[in-house]
Amino acid sequence: MKVLQIVSQAYRATVEEQDDTILWLTQAMKNAGGELDVLLTGDSVNYTIAGQDASGLSFGDWKQTQPPRIENDLLRMMGKGVKIFAVADDLVERGLGENGLVEGVRRLQRGDIPQLMNGYDQVWRW
């Protein structure tokens, strides 16, 4: 079975969880033998911008030592064969061009999403 994971919500508890929960779930299932790819839509296309730094959270004497590193998560996933797609229209609408994207992320037009979906047994939209 091949599954396309669609992620549209961005930075949902990423600081508390030290990752995006759906990207984490995807990696865990991939490690368990699952066959999955990821489509980033809406605000989550911002995950494809390289060089983000979410470190520095502190409250009193408490300091976060392991902030989320979503760029590393994307690279790790692609290194294991998970394809990462991002909707180009959503990038453009947010003023995000082709420069500065995490290497290996595949851009596609919104109109090409149905064709992409055809390549999967199931599509899970979170």
Partner 1 sequence: MSKDKTLTFAFMEPPFESARATTVFRLLAEAVGRGHDVNVFAYEGAVYLPFAPQKQHANAVHGRDEAQENHPLPKDWVAALLADAGKRGGKFDWVNCGLCVDERGASESIPGVRRGSPADFWKMASESLNTLVIGTH
Give yes or no for residue 11 binding partner 1 (CB under 8 A). no
Q: Which stretch binds partner 1 (CB under 8 A): 9-17, 49-57, 64-72, 76-84?
A: 9-17
Give yes or no for residue 46 binding partner 1 (CB under 8 A). no
The answer to whether the Cα torsion of 90, 94, 98, 100 is positive or negative is negative
Euclidean distance between CA atoms 65 and 68, whole angstroms: 10
In the bound state with partner 1, the residue whose beta carbon lies nearer, of 23 and 87, is 23
Site string for partner 1, 87-126 (x = CB under 8 A): -----------------------------------x-xxx
Euclidean distance between CA atoms 30 and 81, whole angstroms: 9
Give yes or no for residue 1 binding partner 1 (CB under 8 A). yes
Burial class (CB in 10 A: 0-12, 13-18, 19+), 108: middle
